[in-house]
Amino acid sequence: MNEMNEVRKPPVATTGIIGWLRINLFFNWTNSLITLFVIYCLYQFIPWILDWTIISADFKYNYLGEQITNQEMCSRNLDPENGGACWAVIYVRFYQFIYGFYPKVEVWRVNLAYVMLAFALLPLLYAKLPYRKYFLYFTYIFPVIAYFLLNGGLGFTEVSTNKWGGLLVTLVLGCTGIALAFPIGIMLALGRRSKLPVISMMCTLFIEFIRGVPLITLLFFGMVMLPLFLPEGIDMDGLVRVLVAVTLFQSAYMAEVIRGGLQAIPPGQYEAAKSLGMSYWRMNLLIILPQAIRISIPPIVNTSIGLFKDTTLVIIVGILDLLGIGRGTLADTNWLGLSYEIYFFVSLVFFIFTFGMSRYSLYLEKKLKTGINMGAD
């Protein structure tokens, strides 16, 4: 009986690094074979990619020590046997990649907006941030500040949006699209489930129409058709037209994602809220939506990442986002043929943002799990 009370440790071979290796990598002979094959592939690939991207790559100077100003000076073009990537193109065109054709004198405004964006995101990312309430106030007014800062007005010189480009346009489209589409999507989802037939029909029609049309069509629609609907004399900015199209597109998808979450809420939740005397809006805001949105976090982030990448389609209506600047650079005779470097860089920037979003969604899921169905699973 006494031994039973002693804490028995699990067998050594199943814990620690050796245990982990044994269970996950060398469990049986097929497993071991696959592990060895993967290790061989990594052994072939990792040194090659490290060599190309870093060790043999040019950053600012080529192997002769000259500062690179065009593609002919890249080591890999001077000596095809030895050179790696020629990152000088990114270095030389960095300003355009980040700001487009924003006037250099005014570029501090964009930088300030970037820093403010980081501060505006802080309270959303960290729930435990000290003075979070005040940070949140800032988050709410940030779009207004950013508008005047970037566009001009209130004493700032106006910078027309056709001078914007690169990461600036990508972030403006992505952030605004996601931020606006979320509340609109919620309203559409509630509307589609409404008991009032007119509202439900209108929302359904809107969602189905927008969802049934490719984003490119909507972008053309925004560029060509939207001005026709406006009263004469009012000219809508090109970027705004694209933003309207992107937001409408995203809100239709968001609506369907949130509707999925709403459908997962048991009817008892509605009944309990009603029996406590809550109105329709209170019930939805306090009881139903918090639960529905929690359930929908993975698909919400999924469609948001999708939108962030889809903003690259604006290139077809003549707006130069990050990818657009990249393609523009490639068309420049000075940098002809450096497509590996440029696409690699553009992919890396997109990956950093989308990977950040995906990590954030995992963090949210983990954080919010404490409340829901604990003990039941």
Partner 1 sequence: MSEESIISLKNVNKWFGDFHVLQDVNLEVKKKERIVVCGPSGSGKSTMIRCINRLEEHQEGSIVVDGIELTGNLKNIDNVRKEVGMVFQQFNLFPHLSVKENITLAPIWVKKMPKAEAEELAMRQLEIVKIPEQANKYPGQLSGGQQQRVAIARSLAMNPNIMLFDEPTSALDPEMIKEVLDVMVDLANGGMTMIVVTHEMGFAKTVADRMVFMDEGKIVEEASPDKFFNNPESDRTKLFLSQILHQ
Site residues, partner 1 (CB under 8 A): 266, 268-269, 271-279, 282, 286-287, 290-291, 294, 368, 370-376
Beta bridge partners of 145: none
CB 82 within 8 A of CB 62: no
Distance between CA atoms of residues 331 and 350, nearest Å: 21
Q: Which residues contact 340 (CB under 8 A, 6 or more apart)?
A: 85
Residue 213 has what DSSP assignment? S
From the CB of 361, what's the least distance to partner 1, in Å? 17
**Residue owning tokens 């000075």:** 334
The 3-state DSSP class for residue 156 equals strand
Q: Please, which residue, 125 or 285, has the CB nearer to partner 1?
A: 285
Q: Name the residue nearer to partner 1 (CB basis): 8 or 195.
A: 195
Q: How far apart are CA 184 and CA 206, in angstroms?
A: 12
Q: Smallest gap, in angstroms, from Cβ of residue 363 to partner 1?
A: 17
Least distance from partner 1 to the Cβ atom of residue 326, Å: 44
Smallest separation, CB 289 to partner 1 (Å)? 10
List b or e across 253-273, with b for residues whose CB sees 16 or more CB atoms inside 10 angstroms: bbbbbbbebbeeeeeeebeeb
Quote the tokens at residue 116. 């403010």
Nearest approach in angstroms of CB 179 to partner 1 is 23
Nearer to partner 1, 231 or 266 (CB): 266
Minimum CB distance to partner 1 smaller for 333 or for 370: 370
Residue 365 Cβ vs partner 1, minimum distance, rounded to whole Å: 13
Q: State the amino acid at position 208 in one-letter form.
A: E
Q: Are 250 and 177 contacting, i.e. CB atoms less than 8 angstroms apart?
A: yes
How far apart are the C-alpha atoms of 219 and 225, rounded to whole Å?
A: 10
For partner 1, the closer of residues 276 and 336 by Cβ is: 276
Residue 67 forms beta bridges with which residues? 61
DSSP-derived 3-state class of residue 159: coil
Shortest Cβ 127–partner 1 spacing (Å): 14
Phi-psi region of 152 (alpha: psi -120 to 50; beta: other; left: phi over 0): left
* Closest C-alpha to 170, from 296, 351, 298, 336: 351
Q: Which is nearer to partner 1, 46 or 127 (CB)?
A: 127
Least separation in angstroms between residue 368's CB and partner 1 is 8
Considering the complex, state which of residue 187 and residue 286 has its C-beta at the smaller distance from partner 1. Answer: 286
Nearer to partner 1 (CB atom), residue 12 or residue 196: 196
